[in-house]
A and B are shown apart, each in its own frame.
Chain A
Amino acid sequence: MASVLASDGVYLRDTVRTAVKLLVVGPFAIGKTTFVGTLSEIRPLRTEETMTEAGALVDDLAGVNGKSTTTVALDFGRLTLTDELVLYLFGAPGQKRFTQIWKDIAFGALGALVLADTRRLEQSFEVMGLLEELGIPYAVAVNAFDGAPAFPGAEVRDALDLLPETPLVFCDARDVTSSTQALITLVEYLSTRNQENA
């Protein structure tokens, strides 16, 4: 298996010494996997985590003592930035009930890009709240869906109740340049924030 993978460029360069991660988050079917796939140099990978969650409205008969087991899929991709530095992008589900998985995957993340859709902006609130609770800085990227109404940035900011400093960008998760630009906006914000807090 290893030799097949090697010919695929699956392995990291031998010189890589530092790996960082950014999260790409948002509600169901918002384009997280598309975004990761657009930017990743490898075929995006998927891992599944099984977790026990406090079951409120679950119809799983396997649930014991009000708990149920859920499988959460995480899609991720990789961008080698320099000979020594590699960036991983993790698409993470936006639901609060996955908090346990969130804590694992968010640990050590530099920041997060929250994807939003103008037709259902309110669905991004939950994940924004979760990021704030975990203290993970984020920028918001409105993903351009065909047929979704275009609103001026100010209106979207209002609707999302963004802090003045939180960056808002419009992007197309299918487009490399547009998606790269969204990440650049996020990392610029992280740098500025870092400088101000220094």
Chain B
Amino acid sequence: MRLRGLVRPYVVTGGRAHASRNTLDAVTVVIATREQVAGLSPEKKRLMELCRGGALSVAEIAAHLSLPISVTKVLLSDLVDSGHIATHAAVSHAARPDMKLLKDVLDGLRARL
């Protein structure tokens, strides 16, 4: 494992808000935003190769790469910082989900019957 500074530099990438691993949830949707993978570690290259095919959640990336979700989050967090990937935040973790969201989920499930 490479050495890190005590304070993790949070980098603003491509107009996005601050990225830190705390923003990554198992169902955060991840998209590759950069083709170039030179200089990345082998695990990160594997991850980028997978993500270049299309959007996937953090949990799916972990499963396809046979990595624990916790490790995957650390790798992804670095890749967000370096501008290789972008994320669509998972649903907000507010105390209550909004009615519109629950209605959409309900309608979506009913439509499958």
Give the interface of A toward B (CB within 8 A).
Answer: 1-3, 5-6, 10-14, 16-21, 42, 45-50, 74, 76, 78-79, 81-82, 85-88, 90, 104-105, 107-108, 110, 176-177, 180-181, 183-184, 187-188, 190-191, 194-195, 197-198
Residue of A nearest to B54 (CB): A11
Residues of chain B within 8 A of A181, CB atoms compared: 113
Residues of chain A within 8 A of B62, CB atoms compared: 47
The residue in B53, B64, B111 that gathers the most chain A C-beta atoms within 10 A of its C-beta is B53
B93 at the interface (CB under 8 A from A): yes
Q: Would you call B96 and A184 a contact (CB within 8 A)?
A: no
Known: A11-B56, A187-B106. A108 touches B50 (CB 8 A): no
23 A-B interface contacts by CB (under 8 A): A10-B64, A12-B29, A12-B54, A12-B55, A12-B57, A16-B55, A18-B101, A19-B29, A45-B60, A47-B59, A79-B108, A81-B107, A81-B111, A85-B104, A90-B59, A104-B26, A104-B69, A110-B91, A110-B102, A180-B109, A180-B113, A184-B109, A187-B106
Give the interface of B toward A (CB within 8 A).
Answer: 25-29, 49-50, 52-57, 59-60, 62-64, 67-70, 88, 90-91, 93, 96-97, 99, 101-113
**Bound-complex Cα distance A183 to B113 (A):** 11
B58: min CB distance to chain A, Å: 9
**Bound-complex Cα distance A166 to B97 (A):** 19
**Bound-complex Cα distance A195 to B96 (A):** 10
Residues of chain A within 8 A of B107, CB atoms compared: 81-82
How many A-B pairs have beta carbons closer than 8 Å: the answer is: 150
User: Beyond the given A47-B59, A49-B69, A110-B102, could you list 7 further A-B residue pairs with CB under 8 A, ordered by the A residue number?
Assistant: A2-B52, A11-B54, A12-B56, A87-B108, A90-B59, A110-B91, A180-B109
A196: min CB distance to chain B, Å: 11
**Bound-complex Cα distance A48 to B71 (A):** 11
Q: Would you call B105 and A21 a contact (CB within 8 A)?
A: no
Q: Would you call B69 and A47 a contact (CB within 8 A)?
A: yes
Known: A45-B64, A47-B62, A197-B96. A180 touches B57 (CB 8 A): no
Residues of chain A within 8 A of B64, CB atoms compared: 1, 5, 10, 45
9 closest A-B pairs (Cβ-Cβ)?
Answer: A81-B108, A11-B54, A2-B53, A45-B63, A19-B27, A12-B55, A191-B102, A47-B62, A108-B93
Q: Would you call B88 and A17 a contact (CB within 8 A)?
A: yes
Q: Would you call B68 and A50 a contact (CB within 8 A)?
A: yes
Q: Would you call A6 and B97 a contact (CB within 8 A)?
A: no
Residues of chain A within 8 A of B59, CB atoms compared: 45, 47, 74, 76, 88, 90
Residue of B nearest to A41 (CB): B112
The residue in B53, B96, B102, B105 that gathers the most chain A C-beta atoms within 10 A of its C-beta is B105
